[in-house]
C-alpha cells in the first residue's frame, strides 16, 4: 500500500526520496537518505530499524547489493518486507519478501529506483521512473515529487485516499535541502505539493541559520513582538534585550 522513489544527483551528491501511502506518518518510518552516500527504503509491514541499518551500511561504503544482503540476512520477518537501496555510485538493489500477496514492482532508472506494493496495476513504478527521467535538469525535489504524482495518477495503490506522503532531499553539512512530511491528510500527495510550494527554496537560509547564525538578521516582527511582551510583563531586568535594541540587525 505504498509507492516510492529514491534518487541521486551526481553533480551535487544530493540524495532524495518521495513516498506516498494510505497509512499515516510514512516519512518517519520508511525513508532514509544521506548526502553523498545513498538512500534506503523500507516498506510493507514496515520495520523502521531496517532503514536505519541500511543507511548506516551505505554510509560505511557498502554497495546497494551488499546493503540489501546484509539487512536481509537472518532477519526475522524479512519475507514481509519490501526494501530498496541506492548506493554512492548510483547503483540500485531491491528486496521483495515472498509473503507479499499483492501487485508489487520495482523499476530501476538512471540514478534512481522506484518500488511499490499493494498497487492498483503493474505500471506504477515504470511510470514514476519515466517521469523522473523526463525532468532532467530540474531540482531534485521537483523531479521526485513529479515522479510521485505520476505514480498516483497512474493508479497508485489499491486503498484510497493517500493519507500520508513525504519528500526529502539532502545537502552538504548534514542539513537537508528539504524534509517535508504530510502525516495525515485527505489527499496527501496534493498536500505535499502545496507544502513544497509554500516552503520555497529554503536551503540557503537554513544553512546559514545552522552554520553562520551571526550572518542572519533577526526578524523585525519577532523582535518587536518580543520586546513589547517583555515590557508588558515588566521583565526588562530579567531579559535586558530591550535596553540594547541598537545592537541587533533586523530584517523586514
CATH of the domain at 15: 3.60.20.10
In a domain, 35, yes or no: yes
Domain count, the chain: 2
pLDDT at 161 over 90: yes
Same domain, 191 and 230: no
Same domain, 239 and 181: no
Phi, psi of 71, rounded to the nearest 5 degrees: -70, -40
pTM listed for this prediction: 0.94
pLDDT at 6 over 70: yes
In a domain, 114, yes or no: yes
Same domain, 223 and 151: no
Same domain, 56 and 126: yes
Pairing of strands 218-219, 2-9: unpaired
Cell of 36: 553523498
In a domain, 81, yes or no: yes
In a domain, 212, yes or no: no
Q: Percentage of the chain with pLDDT > 90? A: 87
pLDDT at 242 over 70: no
Query: Nearest to residue 139, comparing CAs of 119, 167, 116?
Result: 167
| Helix 64-72 vs helix 48-59: crossing angle, to nearest 10 | 140
Same domain, 199 and 224: no
Phi, psi of 35, rounded to the nearest 5 degrees: -60, 130
Q: Which residue has the higher pLDDT, 66 or 205?
A: 66
Q: What is the pLDDT of residue 246?
A: 80
Q: pLDDT digit string (tens) for 29-61?
A: 999 999 999 999 999 999 999 999 999 999 999
Q: Which residue has the higher pLDDT, 17 or 174?
A: 17
pLDDT at 139 over 80: yes
Same domain, 241 and 121: no
pLDDT at 247 over 90: no
Same domain, 140 and 21: yes
Pairing of strands 82-86, 92-96: antiparallel
Same domain, 99 and 180: yes
Same domain, 147 and 40: yes
Same domain, 226 and 136: no
In a domain, 172, yes or no: yes
Same domain, 118 and 231: no
Using CA atoms, how far apart are residues 192 and 69, in angstroms rounded to an integer? Answer: 33
In a domain, 168, yes or no: yes
Using CA atoms, how far apart are residues 247 and 62, in angstroms rounded to an integer? Answer: 50
pLDDT confidence bin for 243, thresholds 50/70/90: low
Element containing residue 2 per DSSP (H, E)? strand 2-9
In a domain, 137, yes or no: yes
The average pLDDT across 17-30 equals 98
| Domain that includes residue 234, residue range | 217-251
Beta-bridge partners for 145: none
Q: What is the pLDDT of residue 206?
A: 85
Using CA atoms, how far apart are residues 172 and 236, in angstroms rounded to an integer? Answer: 40
Query: Nearest to residue 104, comparing CAs of 92, 112, 114?
Result: 114
pLDDT at 200 over 90: no
In a domain, 211, yes or no: no
Q: Which residue has the higher pLDDT, 194 or 200?
A: 194
Same domain, 65 and 185: yes
Amino acid at each position: 500500500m505504498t509507492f516510492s522513489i529514491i534518487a541521486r544527483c551526481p553533480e551535487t551528491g544530493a540524495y532524495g526520496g518521495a513516498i506516498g501511502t494510505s497509512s499515516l506518518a510514512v516519512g518517519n518510518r520508511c525513508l532514509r537518505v544521506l548526502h553523498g552516500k545513498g538512500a534506503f527504503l523500507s516498506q510493507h509491514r514496515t520495520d523502521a530499524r531496517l532503514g536505519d541499518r541500511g543507511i548506516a551500511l551505505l554510509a560505511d561504503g557498502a554497495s546497494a547489493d551488499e546493503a540489501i544482503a546484509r539487512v536481509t540476512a537472518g532477519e526475522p520477518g524479512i519475507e514481509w518486507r519490501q526494501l530498496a537501496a541506492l548506493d554512492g555510485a548510483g547503483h540500485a538493489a531491491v528486496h521483495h519478501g515472498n509473503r507479499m500477496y499483492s501487485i508489487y514492482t520495482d523499476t530501476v532508472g538512471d540514478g534512481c529506483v522506484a518500488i511499490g506494493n499493494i498497487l492498483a496495476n503493474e505500471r506504477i513504478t515504470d511510470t514514476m521512473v519515466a517521469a523522473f527521467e523526463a525532468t532532467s535538469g530540474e531540482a531534485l525535489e521537483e523531479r521526485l515529487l513529479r515522479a510521485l504524482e505520476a505514480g498516483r495518477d497512474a493508479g497508485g495503490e489499491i486503498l484510497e485516499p493517500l493519507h500520508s506522503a513525504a519528500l526529502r532531499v539532502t545537502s552538504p553539512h548534514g542539513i537537508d535541502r528539504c524534509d517535508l512530511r504530510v502525516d495525515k491528510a485527505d489527499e496527501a500527495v496534493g498536500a505535499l505539493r502545496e507544502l513544497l510550494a509554500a516552503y520555497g527554496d529554503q536551503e540557503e537560509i537554513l544553512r546559514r541559520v545552522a552554520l553562520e547564525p551571526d550572518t542572519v538578521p533577526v526578524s523585525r516582527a519577532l523582535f518587536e513582538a518580543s520586546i513589547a511582551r517583555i515590557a508588558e510583563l515588566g521583565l526588562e531586568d530579567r531579559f535586558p534585550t530591550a535596553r540594547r535594541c541598537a545592537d541587533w540587525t533586523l530584517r523586514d
